[in-house]
């Protein structure tokens, strides 16, 4: 018998544990893709189209090929013999899309040829020496004009440039055909309304701009017939699957590694042409190859986000009851469909129920090709667009009725006793309790005080406004039925000799801190010190299966898989422990983990140390009947539904009368993401999301000119929020756990981006309301604001 004498271990779930990732990152010791060097490694550079739309007439590679140190120059047409068109991850019809253009270019930046050379500078020199002649075609830039008869078209078989045209659920829509069958309820809601607001709004195109550009190192070993690909990706397992497929290899012949990844925000979900090209050219030249994107290439070729035009109609009664919503959405998806392109805008209409008990919702979506960079996920991915449209429209109704923006929302909330709540769009919200969240936000912000402060400022002649938004979003992507890549996540938990624990997760992080939060969860689960736990991720040769990190799924799906695997490993540890307690009749069911020991619940004197049980598991003499040696368990977790976090954001802005410059004075965010594992990390996620949402409201916009030339292709032209642009954020939380996973955690990665954008624009419209302004298009550029102050109306 042993007596429990170790120190009591504090519970770590819910604690502000500082991150275990940080020591390598703050000392410059982390390894990002560009830090990888292999012997004999060659470098790639891409020759890219400098026109938006045209047919390739000729490519002269002779000068490039003649340069000393250039190994290979290859055009798209030649490369097509080695690489077929790229796969996509949605079920929508899509035109062929080659990694490197074969005959026609459709956006500025599309690659037309590739150089392989001994050195990065030389590769760029050689790419610059390639001469391409085009027969230029008219550029398709405006998505509405693109759908008109007579517009130039990008792709054969896609008339009027339309990629997807559909109704996505909603009142009177047949979900099977996605077509409206019965308009009576929609028509009645609008005919009987006391007030209808109708507004055209643009949710503008953005560049995700992870600070680490994309990059890839590929090494094909012909003797082993084995390919290793290191890539700045959010999902190495999807990379493995797709690269294997395009290379004609089995998954077992491909190892994909996401080393340290410097941010993703959705733009590193897609598997890009450069990744396939690197793999194919490594096989072709029989050497490792590297390609690292520069920032201008990132603006031209890394997927953009948003770019949805909405025609929104919202109907209400005089008492503020919202009775119906109609949304006609046009998505400018750019030149091609990449991995999830066509799926992203479908989330917009689905989420437009918001937090309200809308009896009637109808949303219509058209996705249109234009001569621009393809779009895909960007933090929030469909939800910020939908919630922006809705929360702007609700504010407009409140203004029309003279209602307080908080009170109109309160009046229309889905009440807590109606969860799970089925929306008109066909989603089922897992859990929610909106009113306490609103009340807390009003209290933290001192809403009445803010309004008084605004009025006092106005009396002094200042231009000040306050704004509020209330969002619900969807996290924890899967389930597999709605995520084309599969919506599960995988984890493995191994208890090693000596009692240390190593766990793997397919949720490959790029700043989210899973090495810390997942270790906190295991420390509590096994009641062992945090230092005894290692979390491995990002390498498909170590992490057997996985989907990846996107859609705020790491904790809600990946964390649930981890706990499931830990449960299996724990059960086995208890069986070994019971077998070791030979002087007692102990059943594994009676045992618990407590302070580094496995003990009979309530009887700490009957216990074994975690370490000695682990040692026994690997030298099991005698082997307990029916058991295998060792403790190494794995689990897949398939969520039965998504999770639906929510929150209320409040802001105050001031506009300079002379310059039109908008200053964000305050931002209060009260978010509810269910149970919280690490409040420090959750706060960090919210802060970052807020900054990006504010960036969209105030600063950021990808601009093309009428010829399809990008005007914003560097940080000199695309305005990113800097430290001095932002106030100190005031955060608080309510906690409404989800029943969908054992953690009760919903996800928080995208929340800040979703609530803050409409909140800030609502405040800006409030600021300019005395000038007769009813809507302002984003971003809140000084020139735009100055015109509104001086000319009134809308922009």
> Looking at 632, 720, 744, 771, which residue binds another protein (CB under 8 A)?
720
- When the beta carbons of 459 and 724 are compared against another protein, the nearer one is 724
Q: How far is the CB of 668 from another protein (least distance, A)?
A: 13
732 binds another protein (CB under 8 A): no
**Closest residue by Cα to residue 317 from 395, 392, 386, 398:** 398
CA angle 185–190–193, rounded 5-degree value: 120
Q: How far is the CB of 265 from another protein (least distance, A)?
A: 7
| 8 A C-beta contact, residue 278 and residue 289 | yes
- Residues 408, 409, 410, 413, CA torsion sign: positive
Site track for another protein across 102-141, x = CB under 8 A: ------------------xx--------------------
- When the beta carbons of 296 and 321 are compared against another protein, the nearer one is 296
666 binds another protein (CB under 8 A): no
- When the beta carbons of 51 and 669 are compared against another protein, the nearer one is 669
Compute the distance between CA of residue 745 and CA of residue 561 in angstroms, rounded to an integer: 13
Q: How far is the CB of 15 from another protein (least distance, A)?
A: 13
Which two tokens mark 334? 């750019």
Backbone dihedral angles phi then psi of residue 114, each to the nearest 5 degrees:
-130, 140
> Looking at 23, 40, 175, 742, which residue binds another protein (CB under 8 A)?
23
- When the beta carbons of 57 and 722 are compared against another protein, the nearer one is 722
**Closest residue by Cα to residue 394 from 412, 416, 414:** 412
- When the beta carbons of 261 and 358 are compared against another protein, the nearer one is 261
14 binds another protein (CB under 8 A): no
Please list, residue by residue across 536-568, b when 16 or more beta carbons sit within 10 angstroms of its beta carbon and e when fewer do: ebbbbeebebbbbbbbbbbbbbbbbbbbbbbeb
459 binds another protein (CB under 8 A): no
| 8 A C-beta contact, residue 399 and residue 232 | no
- When the beta carbons of 30 and 178 are compared against another protein, the nearer one is 30
> Looking at 3, 11, 14, 26, which residue binds another protein (CB under 8 A)?
26
Query: Which residues touch 515 (CB under 8 Å, ≥6 apart)?
Result: 19, 20, 21, 509, 535, 537
- When the beta carbons of 21 and 367 are compared against another protein, the nearer one is 21
- The stretch among 332-340, 556-564, 652-660, 721-729 that binds another protein (CB under 8 A) is 721-729
Q: How far is the CB of 678 from another protein (least distance, A)?
A: 9
Compute the distance between CA of residue 535 and CA of residue 503 in angstroms, rounded to an integer: 5
For residue 779, cis peptide bond before it (omega within 30 degrees of 0): yes
CA atoms within 13 A on the CB side of 50: 7
Beta bridge partners of 322: 316
**Closest residue by Cα to residue 537 from 525, 529, 545:** 545
Which two tokens mark 510? 């790029």
| 8 A C-beta contact, residue 332 and residue 303 | no
Q: How far is the CB of 295 from another protein (least distance, A)?
A: 4
| 8 A C-beta contact, residue 353 and residue 427 | yes
- The stretch among 31-39, 44-52, 73-81, 428-436 that binds another protein (CB under 8 A) is 31-39
> Other C-beta atoms within 10 Å of 582: how many?
9
**Closest residue by Cα to residue 66 from 31, 115, 8:** 115
> Looking at 84, 138, 420, 688, which residue binds another protein (CB under 8 A)?
688
- When the beta carbons of 119 and 133 are compared against another protein, the nearer one is 119
- When the beta carbons of 29 and 177 are compared against another protein, the nearer one is 29
> Looking at 8, 10, 27, 402, which residue binds another protein (CB under 8 A)?
27
What is the Rg, in whole angstroms, of the alpha carbon atoms belonging to the chain?
28
- For residue 638, give the 3-state DSSP assignment: coil
From the number of C-beta atoms within 10 Å of its C-beta (0-12, 13-18, 19+), residue 328 rates as middle
Compute the distance between CA of residue 544 and CA of residue 43 in angstroms, rounded to an integer: 30
444 binds another protein (CB under 8 A): no
Size of interface with another protein, in residues (CB under 8 A): 58
Q: How far is the CB of 555 from another protein (least distance, A)?
A: 15
- Spatial strand order of the sheet with 646-655 comes to 463-472, 646-655, 662-672, 729-733
- The stretch among 207-215, 240-248, 497-505, 601-609 that binds another protein (CB under 8 A) is 207-215
Site track for another protein across 561-580, x = CB under 8 A: --------------------
CA angle 494–495–498, rounded 5-degree value: 145
- When the beta carbons of 189 and 665 are compared against another protein, the nearer one is 665
Q: How far is the CB of 22 from another protein (least distance, A)?
A: 5
Would you say how long the chain is, in residues? 795
261 binds another protein (CB under 8 A): yes
Q: How far is the CB of 492 from another protein (least distance, A)?
A: 25
Q: How far is the CB of 118 from another protein (least distance, A)?
A: 13
Site track for another protein across 281-300, x = CB under 8 A: -------------xxx----
Site track for another protein across 212-251, x = CB under 8 A: xx--------------------------------------
- When the beta carbons of 20 and 363 are compared against another protein, the nearer one is 20
- When the beta carbons of 25 and 703 are compared against another protein, the nearer one is 25
| 8 A C-beta contact, residue 67 and residue 122 | yes
> Looking at 170, 513, 647, 660, which residue binds another protein (CB under 8 A)?
513
180 binds another protein (CB under 8 A): no
Q: Could you list the residues that contact another protein (CB under 8 A)?
A: 18-19, 21-32, 34-35, 37, 120-121, 209-213, 260-263, 265, 294-296, 510-513, 680-681, 683-684, 687-692, 714-716, 720-724, 726, 728-729, 752
């Amino acid at each position: 018998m042993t007596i429990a004498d170790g120190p009591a271990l504090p519970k770590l779930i819910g604690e502000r544990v500082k991150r275990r990732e940080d020591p390598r990152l703050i000392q410059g010791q982390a390894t990002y893709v560009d830090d990888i060097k292999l012997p004999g490694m060659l470098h790639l550079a891409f020759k890219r189209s400098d026109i938006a739309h045209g047919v390739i007439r000729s490519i002269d590679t002779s000068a490039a090929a003649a340069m000393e140190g250039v190994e290979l120059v290859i055009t798209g047409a030649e490369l097509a013999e080695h690489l077929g068109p790229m796969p996509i991850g949605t079920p929508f019809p899509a035109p062929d899309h080659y990694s490197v253009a074969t005959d026609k270019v459709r956006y500025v930046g599309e690659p037309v040829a590739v150089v392989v050379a001994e050195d990065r500078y030389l590769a760029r020199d050689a790419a610059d020496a390639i001469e391409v002649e085009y027969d230029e075609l008219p550029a398709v830039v405006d998505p509405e004009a693109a759908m008109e008869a007579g517009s130039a078209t990008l792709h054969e078989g896609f008339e009027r440039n339309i990629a997807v045209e559909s109704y996505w659920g909603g009142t009177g829509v047949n979900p099977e055909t996605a077509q409206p069958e019965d308009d009576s309820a929609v028509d009645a809601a609008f005919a009987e309304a006391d007030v209808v607001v109708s507004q055209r709004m643009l949710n503008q195109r953005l560049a995700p701009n992870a600070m680490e550009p994309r990059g890839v190192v590929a090494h094909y070993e012909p003797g082993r017939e084995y390919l290793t690909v290191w890539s700045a990706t959010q999902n190495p397992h999807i990379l493995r699957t797709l690269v294997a497929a395009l290379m004609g290899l089995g998954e077992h012949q491909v190892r994909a590694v996401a080393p340290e990844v410097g941010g993703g925000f959705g733009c590193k979900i897609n598997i890009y042409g450069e990744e396939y090209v690197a793999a194919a050219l490594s096989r072709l030249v029989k050497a490792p190859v590297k390609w690292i994107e520069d920032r201008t290439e990132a603006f031209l070729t890394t997927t953009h986000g948003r770019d949805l035009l909405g025609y929104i109609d919202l109907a209400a009664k005089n008492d503020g009851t919202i009775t119906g919503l109609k949304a006609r959405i046009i998505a400018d998806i750019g030149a091609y469909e990449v991995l999830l392109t066509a799926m992203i805008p479908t989330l917009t209409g689905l989420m437009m129920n918001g937090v309200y008990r809308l009896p009637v919702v109808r949303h219509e979506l058209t996705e249109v090709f234009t001569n621009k960079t393809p779009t895909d996920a960007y933090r929030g991915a469909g939800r910020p667009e939908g919630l922006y449209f809705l929360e702007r429209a609700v504010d407009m109704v409140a203004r029309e009725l003279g209602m307080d923006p908080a009170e109109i929302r309160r009046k229309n909330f889905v009440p807590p006793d109606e969860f799970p709540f089925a929306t008109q769009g066909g989603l089922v919200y897992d859990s929610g309790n909106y009113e306490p969240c609103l009340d807390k936000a009003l209290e933290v912000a001192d809403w009445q005080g803010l309004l008084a402060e605004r009025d006092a400022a106005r009396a002094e002649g200042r231009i000040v406004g306050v704004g509020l938004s209330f969002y619900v979003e969807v996290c924890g992507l899967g389930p597999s039925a709605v995520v084309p890549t599969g919506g599960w996540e995988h984890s493995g938990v191994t208890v090693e000799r000596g009692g240390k624990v190593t766990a793997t997760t397919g949720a490959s992080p790029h700043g989210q801190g899973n090495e810390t939060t997942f270790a906190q969860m295991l420390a509590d689960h096994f009641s062992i010190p945090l230092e005894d736990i290692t979390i491995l991720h990002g390498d498909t040769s170590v992490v057997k299966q996985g989907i990846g990190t996107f859609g705020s799924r790491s904790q809600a799906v990946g964390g649930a898989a981890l706990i499931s695997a830990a449960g299996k490993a724990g059960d086995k540890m208890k069986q070994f422990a019971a077998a070791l307690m030979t002087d007692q009749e102990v059943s594994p069911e009676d045992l618990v983990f407590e302070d580094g020991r496995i003990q009979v619940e309530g009887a700490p004197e009957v216990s074994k140390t975690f370490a000695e049980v682990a040692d026994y598991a690997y030298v099991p003499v005698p082997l307990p009947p029916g058991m295998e040696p060792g403790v190494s368990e794995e689990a897949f977790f398939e969520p039965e539904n998504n999770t639906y976090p929510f929150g209320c954001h409040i802001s105050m802005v001031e506009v300079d009368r002379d310059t039109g410059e908008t200053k964000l004075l305050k931002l209060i965010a009260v978010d509810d993401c269910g149970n919280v594992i690490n409040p420090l990390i959750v706060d960090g996620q919210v802060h970052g999301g807020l900054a990006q949402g504010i960036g969209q409201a105030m600063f950021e916009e990808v601009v093309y000119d009428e010829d399809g030339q990008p005007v914003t292709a560097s940080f000199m032209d695309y305005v990113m929020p800097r430290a001095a642009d932002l106030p100190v954020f005031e955060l608080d939380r309510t906690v409404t756990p989800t029943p969908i996973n054992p953690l009760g955690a919903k996800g928080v990665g995208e929340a800040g981006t979703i609530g803050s954008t409409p909140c800030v624009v609502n405040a800006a419209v409030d600021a300019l309301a005395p000038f007769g302004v009813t809507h302002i298009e984003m971003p809140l550029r000084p020139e735009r604001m100055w015109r509104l102050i001086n000319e009134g109306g809308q922009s």
